[in-house]
A and B are shown apart, each in its own frame.
Chain A
Amino acid sequence: MGLSGLDIYKLLPKTNCRECGYSNCLAFALAIAKKAVSIDKCPHISKDVKQKLLEAVLPAMKLIEIGINDRKSLTGQETVLFRHEEKFHNPCLLGYILDDNLNEEEFDKRLLDISNIKFERVGEIIKLDLIALRNKSNNSEKFKNCIKKIALLSNLNIVIITDNLQILKESIDIIKSNNALIYFTKDLTDTNVLDLLKKYNPPIVISADRLEEFDNIIPKLIDIGLNNLVLETKSKNVQNKLWDLTQIRRLALKKKNRAFGFPQLVTVKKDDDFSGVMQAATFITKYANVILLENFGLEDIFALLTLRQNIYSDPQKPLQVEPKAYAIGQVTDNSPVLVTTNFSLTYYTVLSEVEASKIPSYIAAINTEGMSVLTAWAAEKFTPESITKGINDYAIKDKVKHNKIIIPGYVANMNKHLEDLSKTKVIVGPKEASGIPSLLKSLYK
């Protein structure tokens, strides 16, 4: 929809009474179009018009919250189909499916294992977001107990999967208090189900076989106040799924079709070695907002989390660290000095190797405007001149007395020139950072 200031103006009372704080209705309309003011500030708008305006200023894809307080997971509100057009905003949530019919010991162990999976990459912790508790026990006490446990023992947010209305009813309070995403796998449009859900407008998954069905069902759900929706198509194979995900994203963003303006969920089961993980990777790139994984291994999750971090990074600005000399560990004036760039990926790759070597060192992150070693070298940002400037600015020669610096193997050819300019002894390090620990150990043992 996306109304312009003038479109909005046409809907206003046009009395210029100034009660909104603006000098006239047009000024107010322009402010709304820019999302600079709340529609509520005009006391004279009719209910109908207000509804219309509210919808018009809504994002094309709704933001859905799962969980409570400061550990909420957010998904949706994407604005583009291709990351270069702007960026992808809310990293696709990854969840792990856990069944409630495991014996208690096994359940606890799995719960903790899943919750504790985390990796550090580029100075960021990457981890799963959700636990999807699947009701297989058909026992509401057991199911409720499991939800309690997750809430207590895990910092992941909760999705509940069940086809049992009775159990959903009996556990609705605890579902509500955790603001869990409800994935009811039988007919959601059954009036009994709707009556239950209507009570608090929870985040819910709505599934359909064909896209046209969403067109039918969703306006009805919105009408009765259920608008925290997550869409899922029941397409069978990866090709159809990719098509559906793409179509829904297009309908939401390009056609501004409100019925599709919600995040999308897919479930992927790992059967043989790689088909599941390849599907999940596909859906991270194109266009899932929530992915529930079943049966995946630690390595699979590591690769998928890394892919998500890549795809959801901001294409406009490379992550950088402050250009300076970092002291790693208990440095002395005898500690080695490693020269690198201030591109986060490069810096943290070097950092983790320096840490692994357990040899206290300085890392001099030269200001390359956030470029990697070779990129910066090719762009003339990582040169004997810029390195010398860094060495001087960071007062390296006051920090250590040995006057030696180690440079990346990829720029070995600047060795002599750099020695002349910086008046240091240059040691050419290995090409890959993985060679750093053995170099440091051989130099400083």
Chain B
Amino acid sequence: MIFETIIGSIKVGGESVLPFLIQEGKVPNKPVIAFEVWDMPPYDFPQSLSEPFGNALNNPLDWALKCVNDYGAKLLCIKLQSINPDTLDKNSKEAVKFINNLIKAVDVPLIIQGSGNKEKDNLVLPEIASIAKGKKYLIGSATQDNYKILAKTCIDNNHSIIAESPIDINIAKQLNILLSDAGVEPSRIVINPTVGSLGYGLEYAYSIMERARLAALAGDTMLAQSFICFAGQEAWRAKEAKAKMSEMPAWGDEKKRGLLWEIITAISFLQSGADILVMRHPKAIKAVENYLNDLLP
């Protein structure tokens, strides 16, 4: 069985069967979709993706509020892009201030994802974790060579942790063991298997997830965690999602294409075991939510 993990008021995981096969076991929690929000204006969103957010994209708090108030987000995934030295190199004070304001403004649970820069993340994430102490957020990412600081702060402040591995089942398992040895409860870990987009390596993560899930259902507790898949971020990198019709007439309308790229990427990972999807476009999210309601009435 997959461990059940709590993110604020939301539960994920807990299933005893392969995705959606409710005829032969239980799926106590529907997979959830988190809206991806950055702590700075996005720099690589094509027009078809920025359009539903309008001016709100210029102010991260407005962006988050729009997701919750206009599009019914029940979970947000905040990416702390601005602290990365390659972007704005903001310091932890600014990040803490933003998260503080956000916590006051919305009452949905948060997934908080660092910038990918180890040094900065190790400075900033502990501070964020402590101001949100007890909120049971999900914070990432721990990697094989950088997990100790995040593990400790998540334990101290009662949060769950994202364990990221580069599409490698052995590393995923190894990292879970390391985190457990560091004192993290297995039920407080969520695996990020690092997915690729439709058309750009999707099938690798798809199969790694299937393998891990089969092992977990056969009793391997060090792979029996929920999966989080960053479907939106990957899909919207693909040229097929971004290119304008004027550029690629044979590919059809980019407004439909971009949405489809995100939706089909998401669906594929639901079929390989995703419990949490992080997505971008409200229409794509709505469509996948409807799909989940059909599959798990």
Interfacial chain A residues near B251, Cβ < 8 Å: 119, 298-299, 302
What does DSSP make chain B's interface, helix, strand, loop or mixed?
Answer: helix
Judging by beta carbons under 8 Å apart, are B252 and A285 in contact?
Answer: no
Judging by beta carbons under 8 Å apart, are A239 and B294 in contact?
Answer: yes
Judging by beta carbons under 8 Å apart, are A277 and B21 in contact?
Answer: no
* B254-267 interface bits toward A, Cβ cutoff 8 Å, 1 = contact, 0 = none: 00110111011001
Judging by beta carbons under 8 Å apart, are A345 and B201 in contact?
Answer: yes
Interfacial chain A residues near B7, Cβ < 8 Å: none
Please tell me the number of chain B residues within 8 Å of chain A, measured between CB atoms: 46
Q: Say yes or no for B288: interface residue by CB 8 A criterion.
A: yes
Judging by beta carbons under 8 Å apart, are B21 and A82 in contact?
Answer: no
Judging by beta carbons under 8 Å apart, are A303 and B198 in contact?
Answer: yes
* B152-172 interface bits toward A, Cβ cutoff 8 Å, 1 = contact, 0 = none: 000000000000001000000
Q: Say yes or no for A242: interface residue by CB 8 A criterion.
A: yes
Q: Say yes or no for A194: interface residue by CB 8 A criterion.
A: no
Interfacial chain B residues near A82, Cβ < 8 Å: 207, 210-211, 214
Q: Report Cα–Cα, A349/B199, bound state, in Å.
A: 11
Q: Say yes or no for B108: interface residue by CB 8 A criterion.
A: no
Judging by beta carbons under 8 Å apart, are B252 and A239 in contact?
Answer: no
User: From residue 227 to 281 of chain B, which have CB atoms closer than 8 A to chain A?
Assistant: 237, 239-240, 242-243, 250-253, 256-257, 259-261, 263-264, 267-268, 271-272
Judging by beta carbons under 8 Å apart, are B203 and A299 in contact?
Answer: no
Please, which residue of chain A has its CB at the minimum distance from the CB of B253?
A299
Extra contacts besides A274-B290, A302-B260, A432-B237 (10): CB < 8 Å: A243-B23, A277-B264, A281-B263, A282-B271, A299-B260, A300-B260, A303-B198, A307-B202, A310-B202, A345-B201
Judging by beta carbons under 8 Å apart, are B198 and A274 in contact?
Answer: no
What is the CB-to-nearest-CB distance from A236 to chain B, in angstroms, rounded to a whole number? 11
A-B Cβ contacts below 8 A, count: 121
Interfacial chain B residues near A286, Cβ < 8 Å: 271
Of A84, A119, A286, A299, most B-chain CB atoms within 10 Å: A299
Return the contact of A307 from the options B198, B256, B272 (Cβ within 8 A): B198
Q: Say yes or no for B20: interface residue by CB 8 A criterion.
A: yes
Q: Say yes or no for B45: interface residue by CB 8 A criterion.
A: no
Interfacial chain B residues near A285, Cβ < 8 Å: 206, 267-268, 271-272
The size class of the interface chain A forms with chain B is: 35 or more
Interfacial chain B residues near A84, Cβ < 8 Å: 207, 210-211
Of A83, A278, A297, A432, most B-chain CB atoms within 10 Å: A278
Judging by beta carbons under 8 Å apart, are A237 and B257 in contact?
Answer: no
Judging by beta carbons under 8 Å apart, are B211 and A278 in contact?
Answer: no
What is the CB-to-nearest-CB distance from B141 to chain A, in angstroms, rounded to a whole number? 16
User: From residue 68 to 122 of chain B, which have CB atoms closer than 8 A to chain A?
Assistant: none
Return the contact of B239 from the options A275, A307, A315, A433 (Cβ within 8 A): A433
Q: Say yes or no for A439: interface residue by CB 8 A criterion.
A: no
Please, which residue of chain B has its CB at the minimum distance from the CB of A356?
B247
Judging by beta carbons under 8 Å apart, are B291 and A275 in contact?
Answer: yes
Interfacial chain B residues near A304, Cβ < 8 Å: 264
Q: Report Cα–Cα, A117/B201, bound state, in Å.
A: 24
Judging by beta carbons under 8 Å apart, are A278 and B198 in contact?
Answer: no
Interfacial chain B residues near A121, Cβ < 8 Å: 199
Please, which residue of chain B has its CB at the minimum distance from the CB of A243?
B23
Interfacial chain B residues near A238, Cβ < 8 Å: 291, 294-295
Judging by beta carbons under 8 Å apart, are A434 and B243 in contact?
Answer: yes
Q: Report Cα–Cα, A313/B271, bound state, in Å.
A: 17
Judging by beta carbons under 8 Å apart, are B296 and A310 in contact?
Answer: no
